[in-house]
Structure 1
Amino acid sequence: MNKERGNLHLIKRINRRLVLNLIRERQPISRASVAKSLHLSRSTVSSIVDDLLQKKLVVEMGYADSSKDGGRRGVELGFNPKSAYGIGVDIGGTKILTVITDLEGEIVYKEKRPTSQSVETIVSFVQAALHAAQLSEQDIVAMGVGVPSVTDIEQGIVVDAPALHWDNFKLQELLAPHFSFPVLINNDVNCAALGEQWLGSGNHSDNMFFIAIGTGVGSAIIANGQLIYGHRFQAGEIAYNIVEDDLNYNRTNALGSFGLLEQKISGTALNFADMSSTDLFARYKQGDVLAQERVQRFIRYLTLHITNAVNLLNPERVIIGGGVSESMKEIIDEINDRVNHYTPIRTKVELATLGGEAGALGAIAYAFNEVEESQLL
C-alpha cells in the first residue's frame, strides 16, 4: 500500500511539473489545450491548475477566441514569475554577492559586499537585501548558497574552504534557523554551471561541461539535466588532471594543494613578471612573442583536457567561465576548432556570459530545482 501511495505521489508530481512547464512555454493556453497536449484527463489538469492558481504560480489571462464552430471559449492561463522569488548568495574569498530574482531569473536586487566568515554577518546581508528589495520572507521560495569548497549537499556541510577557514563547517545548520524558507548549500563552481545553464551560454542544455578558470581551476558536470557529484561530492576536480610530462617527472597531487593542471592553466599560473593574465592576453593580441608562446601553451593544455572530457562525457556544450575566460575572446574559436579536430564527438566550446553573477544566479537555480523536486514550489 505504501508503495502504491508513493507511486501515485510521484505521478502527481510529474504531471504537475508537466502542466506548469507547458503553461510557461506556451502561454496563453487553455486547460483543454493543456489536457490535449499532455494526454491527461481534463479533471486531472483542472485539479493541478486549481492548485497552481491558489499558489499564484499561474494566473487567468481572460477568455480565448471562439472556436470555428462557435464552441464555448476557454479561460487562458499564463505563468506568473512574480508569484515568488529566490535568493542566491555567492561567498568568495574576497566578496559576497547577494542576488534576488523572480522565478524566471529576472534580477530585482543585487549587492556585493566584502567577504565574511561570520554566519551572523551573512545573515545580516540577506536580511538587508530583503529589506532593500521590499520583499518579506513569505515571498521567498528558497535560498541557495555557493561556497568555494567541496560541499556535502546532503548534510549542508562545507568540507574544506581554505579561503574562509571553514573545515567541516555546518553552514546550512547554522543559517537555516534565521529564515522561514529552505536554505541549500552547494559548491560555487556547480552553482556557476547551473547559472550558465539557466540564463547564460548553457542555453538550458541538459548535457554540459563547465570549466571555471580563475585563481584556480574547477569544473562541473551536468548530465541528463542533473549535476554529477560523484563519491564524496568530488566529481569535476580537474585541477588534479595530469599529462605525460607529470608522470615523467613523478609529479603528484595533494588534496587541498594547487593541482598540477592548475599550475599550468589557472590565472595564477599565467601571471608572470608582474603581468596579469589580462595583460598577457592583451599582449598576445598585439603579437608579443613571449605572450604568444605562453598563450599557445595554455591553449594546448586546455584543448587536451577539454577533448578528454568530451570523449568521456559527450556534452552538448562546453562552457568556459571564471575570471580568465573574460580575456579569452580572441582564442575561443581556436579552442573550439582544435577540440572538434581531435575528437569525432561533436560539441560546442563557448565562453560564459554571466560573468561574476553566474554563481549567485546558479545558487538560485539550484534552490528552485530542489524545492520543485520536493513540490514545495
Structure 2
Amino acid sequence: MKTYLAFDIGGTKLKYALINNQGQMLKKYSEDTVKTSQADFLNRFNEIIQNFKTQISGIGISVPGKVDTKNQKISFGGSLPFLDGVSFNDSLDTQLPIFVENDAKSATLAEMWQGSLSNISNGVMLVLGTAIGSGIVLNHQLVYGSNQQAGEVSFMSYGQFDKEHLMGGKSSAVALIQDIAQHYQLDNIDDGPKVFELITNNKTYAVKQFREFCRNVALLIHNMQTVLDVDCYVIGGGISRQKIVVAGINQAFDDLRSENDFVNNTLMKPQIVSSKLYNEANLFGAVSRFEMNFNQTQDFKKVGNI
C-alpha cells in the first residue's frame, strides 16, 4: 500500500492530506497559508514534508496559476504572486517524486480518477469559486493546449470585454454569496449556508440573483458545448454541495434552449451533474497521476516512476 502527501495551496488556507493508492484520505490538515515571503512559504512546505517523509511515496501539489507541463514551473500564482517562477522540483528538500498541477485541472483529474468523470470519455469540469475554473477532457485525456491555458473560461466574454463582463465575474459563486449577504445585511458576507437558506426560503432578491447566476453558468455551458460536444459537465467547488445549484443550472439550461427551437432541436443536451469530491477534489487530483496511466508529460514520467 502506497501513501502520498497531497497539497492544495490556497490564498487563505494551505490544505494537505495523506491519501493512499486506493483513493482513501487517511488524514487531512489545514492551516493558514504563509504569505510573508517566498522563502518563508517554502520553509514551511519543507517542514511539513519532513514530518511525513518516512510515510510517503510521492508528493502532489495543486496550485493557483499556470503550470508548465514540461518542467512543472508555475507562472503567475493567483492571490500568491510570489509563486511566479517557482519550481517545486528545485525548491523542496526531498528526493521523492513530485507532481504539480493547476488547481482547476487537479479537480478535473480527481473527478476522472474516482468521481463524476471516471466513466466519461468526453466531459468538462467547472469549478465555481472566486472565478470559474475549468478542465476539459477529450477521449479521457485532460486537454492542456499549446500554452497550458485550455479551459481558462473565466476570460470568456459575456458581450463586452471589460472585467465586469468576463465570465469569471458573471459566474462567480463568491460574488453571488457576498452580494446576497450584503443585501440582507448578514453579519458574515461569506456565510454561504445562510445565503442558501434565504434562497430556499424564496426571498425575492436572493432568488433573483441566484437565477441570474444559474443562467450565466448555463450560457457558458451552451457556448462550450457548441465547440466541444461533450457528454457531461461536472459542477464543482464548495457551492456544488447545495443540491439546488445543479438543479438550478439544469433548469436554466433548459430555459435557454426553450427560447430557440432551432438550437433545441439541433444540439443534443449534455448531462449536468455535481462533483463527487467537492472541496477535496484538489487534494485527490494532486496525487491522482501517481495512480493514473496518463503519461502526458515527459517530466512527470521522469520524476514519477515510483
Give the TM-score category using the shorter length. 0.7 to 0.9
Q: 2:107, 2:284 within 8 Å by CA — same for their partners in 1?
A: yes
Does residue 376 (structure 1) correspond to residue 305 (structure 2)? The answer is yes
In structure 1, the residue matched to 2:68 is: 152
Q: Deviations over 1:329-373 (max 9, x none)?
A: 124224225436735323211121212211011011034337867
Shift of the 238–290 alpha-carbon distance from structure 1 to 2, 3 Å rule, reads same
- Aligned partner of 2:172 in structure 1 is 266
Report the AA paired with residue 291 of structure 2: F
Give the AA of the match of 2:4.
G
**Relative contact order higher in (CA < 8 Å, ≥ 6 apart):** 2
Contact persistence 1:153–1:184 (CA under 8 A): no
Report what 2:289 is aligned to. 366
Task: Provide the residue aligned with 2:25 in structure 1.
Answer: 107
Aligned AA for 2:73?
Answer: I
1:210 has 2:128 as partner = no
For residues 199 and 287 of structure 1, what CA distance do their matches in structure 2 show?
35
Query: 1:252 is aligned with what amino acid?
Result: D
Counterpart Cα distance in 2 of 1:124 and 1:340 = 51
1:102 CA displacement: 2.0
Do the aligned partners of 1:143 and 1:367 also contact (CA within 8 Å) in 2? Answer: no
Do the aligned residues in 1 keep the contact of 2:97 with 2:305 (CA within 8 Å)? no
Amino acid at match of 2:150: A
Match of 2:253, as an amino acid? V
**1:127 and 1:356, CA in 2 relative to 1: closer, same or farther beyond 3 A?**
farther
Output the TM-score relative to the length of structure 2.
Answer: 0.81
In structure 2, the residue matched to 1:122 is 45
Distance 2:4 2:248 in 1: 38
Structure-2 change in CA distance of 1:107 and 1:331 (3 Å): closer
Q: How far has the Cα of 1:100 moved from its partner?
A: 2.1
SS in 2 for 1:233: coil
Greater Cα offset, 339-348 or 360-369? 339-348
Residues 76-95 of structure 1 correspond to what in structure 2 (within 5 A)?
82=1, 84-95=2-13
* Higher Rg: 1
Letter in 2 for 1:152: D
In structure 1, the residue matched to 2:222 is 307
Residues 71 and 87, structure 2, Cα contact 8 Å, conserved in 1: no
Contact 2:121 2:138 in 1 (8 A): yes
Q: Does 1:336 align with 2:286?
A: no
On the 8 A contact 1:318/1:349 being kept in 2, the answer is yes
Cα distance in 1, alignment partners of residues 238 and 165 from structure 2: 18
Sort the Cα spacing of 1:236 and 1:367 in 2 relative to 1 into closer, same or farther, 3 A. Answer: same
**Which residue of 97, 107, 113 maps to 2:15?**
97
- CA distance 1:284–1:337, shift in 2 (3 Å): closer
Query: In structure 2, do the counterparts of structure 1 residues 338 and 264 end up closer, same or farther at CA, with 3 Å as the change threshold?
Result: closer
CA 1:307–1:214 in structure 2 vs 1: closer, same or farther (change >3 Å)? same
Secondary structure of the residue aligned to 1:145 is: strand
2:141 counterpart of 1:226: yes
Map of 2:278 onto structure 1: 355
Letter in 1 for 2:167: L
CA–CA distance in 1 between the matches of 2:105 and 2:152? 11
Where 1:112 maps in the other structure, the secondary structure is strand
Q: 1:218 to 1:372 in 2, by over 3 A?
A: closer
**CA 1:259 to 1:231, structure 2 compared with 1: closer, same or farther past 3 Å?**
farther
Q: Distance in 2 between matches of 1:371 and 1:347?
A: 25
Task: Look up the SS of the partner of 1:349 in the other structure.
Answer: strand
SS, match of residue 291 in structure 2: helix
1:191 aligns with 2:106: yes
Cα distance in 2 for residues equivalent to 1:331 and 1:370:
33
Counterpart of 1:190 in structure 2: which amino acid? K
Q: CA deviation at 1:289?
A: 0.8
- CA distance in structure 1 between the partners assigned to 2:112 and 2:209 by the alignment: 31
- How many residue pairs get aligned? The number is 277
CA shift in 2, pair 1:92/1:367, >3 Å: farther
Question: What 5-or-longer segments of structure 2 have no aligned partner?
Answer: 258-263
Q: Which TM-score applies when normalising by structure 1?
A: 0.67
Q: In angstroms, what is the RMSD of aligned CA positions?
A: 2.5
Structure 1: give runs of 5+ residues left out of the alignment: 1-81
> One-letter code of the match for 1:180?
Q
